[in-house]
Chain A
Amino acid sequence: ETGVTQTPRHLVMGMTNKKSLKCEQHLGHNAMYWYKQSAKKPLELMFVYNFKEQTENNSVPSRFSPECPNSSHLFLHLHTLQPEDSALYLCASSQGAGAGDIVSYNEQFFGPGTRLTVL
Chain B
Amino acid sequence: QKEVEQNSGPLSVPEGAIASLNCTYSDRGSQSFFWYRQYSGKSPELIMFIYSNGDKEDGRFTAQLNKASQYVSLLIRDSQPSDSATYLCAVNSYKLVFGAGTILRVKS
Residues of A within 8 A of B (CB): 40-43, 45, 48, 56, 58, 88, 90, 102, 104-105, 107-113
Contacts and interface: CB of A to CB of B under 8 A. Distances in A.
B32 A112 contact: no
Contacts of B100: 40-42
A102 to B, nearest CB: 6
B95 A104 contact: yes
Contacts of A113: 42-43
Interface of B: 4, 31-32, 34, 36, 42-46, 49, 88, 90, 92-101
B43 to A, nearest CB: 4
A42 B6 CA distance: 10
Given A42-B88, A105-B92, 15 more contacts: A42-B97, A43-B90, A45-B96, A45-B97, A88-B43, A90-B44, A102-B93, A107-B46, A108-B34, A108-B96, A109-B46, A110-B36, A110-B43, A113-B42, A113-B43
Contacts of B94: 102, 104
A43 B32 CA distance: 17
Contacts of A104: 92, 94-96
B46 A48 contact: no
